[in-house]
Amino acid sequence: MANTSQPVRRTALLAGGLAVLGLLSACGSENGTPPPSHSARASDAAPSAGTATDPGTAAAAGTPSDTAGSASASARTDGRCHTSELRAAVGRLDPGAGQRNFPLVLTNTSERTCTVYGYPGAAFVDASGKQLGPDPERAPGSPETLTLTPGASAWAGLSFSSPEISGARTATPAALLVTPPDERASLKVEWTAGAVPVGGKASSVSVTALEAGSGP
C-alpha cells in the first residue's frame, strides 16, 4: 500500500501545479498585453509620429515662405534680358575729333526686371540683309552687370572714323542689326545717319561695353 500511494500523490501534485500555471497564464492575459507587444506598437507608431519631422515633409511645410522669397527675388531680377524683351534704338550723333559716335540703346520693354552684361553685337546691312563691312571691334573696358527694371535702358557706344577724313571705302546701310549680349536673335534698327566705312585701312568700327542709361 505504501508503494501505491506515492505515485498517486505525485500525480495529484503535478495536476495541481498545472492548474496553478493555467491560472497565472489567464491572469496575465486579462491584466494586459505583455511588454513585447507594447514594443511592437511603439515601433508601428514611429513613422506616423515622425512624419512632421521627415525632411520631405519639412521642406513642404516651408514652401509658403520659400515661395514668397522666390517671388521677391523674381521681382528684383530674373536672369538676363532676352531679345524679345528689348527694344533697340540708335541715339543722336555725338561727333568727336574726326570721329562719329552713336549710342546704341537697349530698353527693357517687358514687365519684369532683367540684366544685361558685356558688349552688344552690331552689324550694318543693306536692304537685302547682307552685311556691310566687318564686325565691330570691342573697345577696351570693364563690363558690369546692369539691372534693367521695366522701361529702363542701357547703352553702348558705336564709333568709327569719319569717312570724309579717313578716306575709307564706304556704303550706306539700310539698317543696323543689334544683338543683345548672350543672345542670338537681333533687333533691326533703321539706319539714317549716312555712309559708314566698310573697307580700307581706316574702316574699323568699334563698340563699347554697355553702361546704364540712354547715352553719354
Q: How far is CA 39 from CA 30, 33, 48, 204, in A?
A: 19, 10, 15, 85
Mean pLDDT of 120-140: 95
**Domain residue ranges in the chain:** 2-76, 83-212
Q: Which three cell numbers stand for residue 138?
A: 570691342
Q: Which amino acid is at 82?
A: H
Return phi, psi of residue 117, to 5°: -150, 130
DSSP H or E segment with residue 175: strand 175-179
Q: How far apart are CA 137 and CA 159, in angstroms?
A: 10
Cell 540703346, residue located: 105
Question: Residue 28: pLDDT above 60?
Answer: no
Which is higher by pLDDT, 115 or 203?
115
Which is higher by pLDDT, 80 or 78?
80
* pTM beyond 0.75: no
- Give the pLDDT score at 20: 40
CATH of 83-212, one of 3.20.20, 2.60.40, 1.10.10, 2.60.120: 2.60.40
What is the pLDDT of the chain when averaged over all its residues? 75
**DSSP 8-class letter at 80:** B
Cell 519684369, residue located: 112
- Give the pLDDT score at 79: 94
- Give the pLDDT score at 97: 82
Residue 29 three-state SS = helix
Q: How far apart are CA 91 and CA 142, in angstroms?
A: 22
Q: Using CB atoms within 10 Å of the CB of residue 210, give its burial: 0 to 12 exposed, 13 to 18 middle, 19+ buried.
A: buried
Q: How far apart are CA 21 and CA 11, in angstroms?
A: 16
pLDDT in tens, 131-174: 999 999 999 999 999 999 999 999 999 999 998 888 899 999 99
